[in-house]
Amino acid sequence: MLKRFFLLTLIFIGISGFSQKKLSLVYTGNMGVYISNGDSSVLIDGLHTKYGEDYLFPTTSLIHKIHQQLQPDAILFTHYHGDHFSESLANEYLASNKKSVLFGSNQITKKIKTSKDRLFTIATTDYNKQTIKVKDFRITGLKINHVGKRHVGVENVGYIVDLGTHRILHVGDTNWMEEINLFNQLDLTNENIDIAILPYWMLLENNASQHIAKHINPKQIIATHISPRIKQQELQEMMEKYPNIHFLTTLEQQIQL
């Protein structure tokens, strides 16, 4: 009887520990985020260099930390713009981390000259979701149009990262784009998104809250792509309007979810 009690106690502790497993997120600049549940990790748009005064970018010390300490299992890129992707930094990371893989559109993967067997190219001809298992988690990539008429030719990829404990959506540089019914075509409401990582401008529309609830329905939201030169009053007003949203503004800022 006593043995059975101890066995049940150990099982309960194990289940509780799994259900309470935290998700850790580290900000690497612009829309760059490192996400880990302790067992598996990804880096999305996290390897890029200085692009302009309106963009944060990872420092040399942070790049070193990514290589030596964080060591993401997969590096994901939404598109090739310099505030999201560096060809040299991506190649260097794959060279130094032999088990890591890279995801991106053809405009990204064609720039990777080595490690061809560790590249996953997400097609952007339509909005079909493409799911690939990596290690013990899944990554789903899909076309999500880049915002702005002058960027029509940019292959922007959104990702749903399923770490088992959490499902995280990262949309890259997009907007609601109601003129093409973009989010109706994406069909994300049934994806059980726990965390949506969005560029902050998607929050600026008066009906942003309704759009989020209708088209994504996440449990939590993280806002990114915030310029280091944003007026503090503007940032404060957004924070007051959305008190439950996390705003990433400082390099290596950490969030536990």
Q: Which residue segments constitute the domains of the chain, with CATH numbers given? A: 23-246 (3.60.15.10)
CA distance 23 to 197: 14
How much is the pLDDT for 83?
97
CA distance 63 to 36: 17
Does residue 6 register a pLDDT over 70?
A: no
How does pLDDT run across 109-139, given as a tens digit for each residue? Answer: 999 988 899 999 999 999 999 999 999 999 9
With pLDDT > 70 as the criterion, what percentage of the chain qualifies? 92
Amino acid at residue number 65 = K
- Terminus-to-terminus CA distance in the chain, angstroms? 38
Region 60-86 average pLDDT: 98
How much is the pLDDT for 255?
97
How much is the pLDDT for 108?
98
Region 209-238 average pLDDT: 97
How much is the pLDDT for 113?
87
Does residue 67 register a pLDDT over 50?
A: yes
Tell me how many degrees the CA angle 15-18-23 measures, rounded to the nearest 5: 160
How does pLDDT run across 7-57, given as a tens digit for each residue? Answer: 444 444 444 444 457 899 999 999 999 999 999 999 999 999 999 899 999
Q: Which residues partner with 70 through β-bridges?
A: none
Does residue 106 register a pLDDT over 60?
A: yes
Region 219-235 average pLDDT: 96
CA distance readout (Å), 257 to 73, 136, 178: 20, 20, 31
Label residue 34 exposed, middle or buried (CB < 10 Å: 0-12, 13-18, 19+): buried
Region 178-202 average pLDDT: 97
Taking the mean position of all CA atoms in its chain, how far away is CA 5?
43
How much is the pLDDT for 15?
40
How much is the pLDDT for 2?
44
How does pLDDT run across 68-77, given as a tens digit for each residue? Answer: 999 999 999 9
Does residue 4 register a pLDDT over 90?
A: no
How much is the pLDDT for 8?
42
